[in-house]
Structure formats: C-alpha cells, structure tokens
C-alpha cells in the first residue's frame, strides 16, 4: 500500500516534469524563431547602416537622439580547421605535428564594428519598440502587452553592462579580403 502510494507520487511528479518539458519545448520554438528573425534583420540593418555611416565624413553619425560610429579592430584569429587540414594534407600527409602547428597558427583578422546608442537624456519611445515587435509578427495588442515586461528585463540587463552597444558588421583578413563569420576567407 505505502509502496504503491510512493510509486504513484513519483509518477505524478514525473508526469508534471514531462508536462513542463513539453511546454518549454513548445514555447521555445516560436521564441527561437522570433530570435532568429530578430538577429537576421538586426545584422542586415546594422551592415546597411554601417556602410552608410562610413560614407559620411569621419565614419560617425549623430542626431538629437542617437549616436553611432564604425571602427575596425585588429585581432589575431586561429586559422580555420578546413584550411589548415587541407594545407597540411597537400604538404605532409603523414606528420601530425605539422597539422597541429598549422591549426594553432594565428592570422590577423580585422573586425569592423558598428557602435551605437542613445544620447544622454534621450530614450526610445514605446512606439519605437512596438514597431519592432510588430515586424516580428506580433499583433499590436500582443506587442503592447509584452512591452512592459520585456523593457523591464532589458533595462535590468543594461544596468549591468553600462557600455555602448556594438555589432560586428564585417571581418577582413590582413590583406583586406572579406572573411566569413566562421573565419574562412570569403570567395
């Protein structure tokens, strides 16, 4: 009797945990989809804006509410595995030490960043945020209902950072050739 009660409680507990897992999975799918859509549109917009800012004198933009500038930073980046393995295979197919050396070899990469933010004393409006949420496919009502909670979380996270935001808008090898997001030379 006692054992069957314990077993039943465990089953109920596991059932509730599975229900939670299923709910998390079902909620993750649309959130992930919106995140991917947001990330893709943000990157495209940032690249476009960076190119337009670079066309300005001094690669800076400033308005009443917004500032932005483009900066290129040089970094050392590990050579890509595909590139190193292909080079190694062509040169020395039997020597593992040579492969290791090529994988560890560094090359100079320049990353181009678009820095941006809101000027001191300025804020984005509720409608600025609602418009972006509507672009993600949310209705006006849903966007307005989600806005207060999303902005509160965003503000709490922003207080921890206290820095200009930036997004990588391009990567270039030392010779100026574009590099893919994975670090491979673009063809």
* Structure confidence at residue 187 (pLDDT): 46
Summarised one tens digit per residue, pLDDT across range 132-141 is 999 989 999 9
Instruction: Let me know how long the chain is.
Output: 187
Residues 6+ away with beta carbon under 8 Å from 36:
none
> Both 11 and 72 in a single domain?
no
| pLDDT at residue 176 tops 70 | no
Higher pLDDT, 130 or 168: 130
> Both 69 and 154 in a single domain?
yes
Range(s) of the domain holding residue 30: 1-34
> Both 137 and 168 in a single domain?
yes
> Both 114 and 168 in a single domain?
yes
Of the candidates 131, 110, 109, 116, which has an alpha carbon nearest to the alpha carbon of residue 50?
Answer: 116
Higher pLDDT, 17 or 103: 17
User: Is residue 67 classed as helix, strand or coil in its secondary structure?
Assistant: strand
> Both 68 and 153 in a single domain?
yes
Higher pLDDT, 123 or 100: 123
Summarised one tens digit per residue, pLDDT across range 96-120 is 677 766 655 555 667 888 888 888 8
> Both 129 and 65 in a single domain?
yes
What is the mean pLDDT of the segment spanning 61-83?
77
> Both 160 and 114 in a single domain?
yes
């Amino acid at each position: 009797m006692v054992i069957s009660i314990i077993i039943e409680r465990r089953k109920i507990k596991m059932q509730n945990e599975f229900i939670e897992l299923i709910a998390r999975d079902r909620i993750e799918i649309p959130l992930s989809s919106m995140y991917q859509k947001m990330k893709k549109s943000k990157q495209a917009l940032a690249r476009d804006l960076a190119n337009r800012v670079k066309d300005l004198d001094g690669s800076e933009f400033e308005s009443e509410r917004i500032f932005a500038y483009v900066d290129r930073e040089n970094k050392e980046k590990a050579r890509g595995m595909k590139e190193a393995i292909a080079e190694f295979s062509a040169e020395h197919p039997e020597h593992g030490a040579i492969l290791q050396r090529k994988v560890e070899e560094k090359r100079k990469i320049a990353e181009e960043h678009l820095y941006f933010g809101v000027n001191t004393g300025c804020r984005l409006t509720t409608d600025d945020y609602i418009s972006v949420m509507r672009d993600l496919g949310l209705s006006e009502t849903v966007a307005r209902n989600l806005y207060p909670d999303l902005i509160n979380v965003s503000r709490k996270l922003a207080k921890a950072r206290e820095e200009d935001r930036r997004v990588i808008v391009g990567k270039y090898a030392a010779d100026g050739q574009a590099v893919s997001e994975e670090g491979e030379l673009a063809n």
